Amino acid sequence: MVMKKLMLAICAFMAAGVMGCSNIKKAPAVSLKLDPQKVEWFKDAKFGMFIHWGLYSILEGTYNGHTMPDTTFAEGNSWYAEWIKPRLEVPDEYYNGLIREFNPVNYDPESWVSEACNAGMKYLVITAKHHEGFALWDSDVSDFDIAATPYQKDLIGPLVAACKKYGLKYGFYYSHWQDWEDPDGALPYWYPWRADEDFEQYWQRKSLPQVKELIQKYDPDLLWFDTWDGNTHITPERRDELIRLVRTYSDKCLINGRICYSNPGENIDFLEMHDNSYPKEMLSKPWQTPATMQNSWAYHSKDFNWKPATRMLRYLVSNTSMGGNYLLNVGPKADGTLPVPAVRRLREMGAWLGANGEAVYGANPSSLKVADEDVYLTEKTAGDEKILYVFLAKPKSTVTIPSVSLKDCFVLETGQGLELSSESGCTEIRIPNGVFKDNSIVVLKAYLQSEPK
Ligand code: JFZ
């Protein structure tokens, strides 16, 4: 950043010398493309924590005796507790009045960050502002923010400090399109369409300035924007205007594909899948799946659909084997505590990654393919050799790898050696039944000798 400013100053000075002082005000156009080297940390990280937290967390999926999903409302059929306002038709005055109640007295950002680290997560993304429009930081741009709550204190700054202390990368979800509090923000599709010139007011007055504010105040490693299929106000021009803003104020901040889901263009840094959606093939860019532990993103006290840790680890492994990340969500309660079922699952996943993380972090998809949907592969280079990792999501007595250069195969967690036999271009790994003593994914490690030249 300092370097960049210095370069700018030198260029301006030189230009002034050539053209006279009247021309120096025009800033040089910033490149919309970020150096791909700056995405490497993201590709190696694999596993991140998503946090949905806002005024909706107070309601926990229930309003006025109605709990989501509730089909007595025309659009009430959704579990997403952060959508409670439009879905259960909560009046504006009531909903926005929750600002007088939001008081997370038990908020302890270091405990969140340490749970994320112990779970094996390498980055964290929090809803700095979700569709409801409420800012978790003390915003100079809008008074619908944390400063107007009984709590008053900034929630983002201390979380960023904790991330830095623990060495976690951090980013912000920012709802750049939908804003249900601003008089000109976009509303859900079943409301009248916001005229484009009105949306432009919101865009210039709140959306762009708050993004700039987030970058200048907190220097995030990534920004998580949110649009989905179909019509949005985010035209390619607005998309690029926002990318340009981010690139102008940060030389490291990654931008996700949902900045314009239907047309992300060439300048985003990674693709964002649909919610809980897992591609079955490799993609042309780095990518990630945002995923829930319950059905809901925001904490929902009546949503008992908690996924087992083993299933979530399988999603992580599946994505890793295809070059993608897994951004797993927790929905804190309004008082600032994490739900017990979420914490238990984070710790289980962390325990598994503590034993098997070597096969995940920094690993690449393998060029070898095994036609078995319960087997996933990753690989790493180690000098002249390659290391192959084989993930077994179900017990099996043999796995056949389409290569004859396999040697030294063992169970990663225990070191138990396994027998290999080669035949017709393949190597069969024999696995004693005793390896599968619980329902966790078993990882095998083997070396791949380089083929004789
Ligand atoms: C969006 C948000 O609306 C949601 O609350 C959550 O933050 C999630 C991570 O991102 O979810 C959507 C909403 C609608 C669609 C896709 C994702 N959609 O209609 O395809």
Atom of ligand 1 nearest to the CA of 297: 6
- pLDDT value at position 281? 87
Tell me how many domains the chain contains: 2
- Beta strands of 55-205 (E only): which ranges? 62-63, 66-67, 123-129, 169-174
- pLDDT value at position 384? 86
Does 319 share its domain with 417?
no
Specify the pTM: 0.93
| CATH at residue 414 | 2.60.40.1180
Nearest CA to ligand 1 atom 15: 228
The single-letter code of the amino acid at 63 is Y
Proportion of the chain above pLDDT 90, given as a percent: 89
Does 240 share its domain with 385?
no
Residues in the chain: 453
Q: Is residue 69 part of a domain?
A: yes
CA distances from 234 to 129, 178, 225 (A): 17, 10, 11
Task: Pick from 132, 228, 256, 277 the residue to mutate for probing ligand 1's pocket: most ligand atoms within 8 Å of its CB.
Answer: 228
Q: Is residue 27 part of a domain?
A: no
* pLDDT one-digit tens code per residue, 210-251: 999 999 999 999 999 999 988 999 999 999 999 999 999 999
Structural domain range at position 426: 366-448
| CATH at residue 78 | 3.20.20.80
pLDDT at 2 over 70: no
Does 281 share its domain with 353?
yes
Q: Is residue 227 part of a domain?
A: yes
Does 354 share its domain with 371?
no
- pLDDT value at position 184? 98
* pLDDT one-digit tens code per residue, 181-216: 999 999 999 999 999 999 999 999 999 999 999 999
The rounded distance, in Å, linking the Cα atoms of 401 and 426 is 6
Q: Is residue 143 part of a domain?
A: yes
Residue with tokens 């008074």: 143
From ligand 1's centre to the CA of 261, what distance in Å? Answer: 11
Choosing from 359, 376, 407, the residue where a domain stops is: 359
- Beta strands of 37-104 (E only): which ranges? 47-51, 62-63, 66-67
Nearest CA to ligand 1 atom 2: 226
Q: Is residue 21 part of a domain?
A: no
Contacts (Cβ under 8 Å, ≥6 apart) of 15: 23, 24
Q: Is residue 24 part of a domain?
A: no
Does 300 share its domain with 397?
no
Does 350 share its domain with 386?
no
Does 50 share its domain with 147?
yes
Helix ranges (DSSP H) in 73-177: 84-87, 92-97, 109-118, 156-166
* pLDDT one-digit tens code per residue, 284-313: 999 999 999 999 999 999 999 999 999 999
Proportion of the chain above pLDDT 70, given as a percent: 93
Nearest CA to ligand 1 atom 20: 228
Phi, psi of 246 (to 5 degrees): -60, -45
Pocket of ligand 1 (CB under 6 A): 80, 82-83, 226, 228-229, 274-275, 290, 297
Nearest CA to ligand 1 atom 5: 82
Choosing from 342, 359, 376, the residue where a domain stops is: 359
Does 335 share its domain with 377?
no
Choosing from 311, 337, 359, the residue where a domain stops is: 359
Does 219 share its domain with 262?
yes
Does 339 share its domain with 373?
no
User: Partners of 223 in the beta sheet?
Assistant: 172, 255
The rounded distance, in Å, linking the Cα atoms of 3 and 48 is 30
From ligand 1's centre to the CA of 214, what distance in Å? Answer: 22
pLDDT at 16 over 70: no
Does 440 share its domain with 338?
no
- pLDDT value at position 229? 85
Does 265 share its domain with 291?
yes
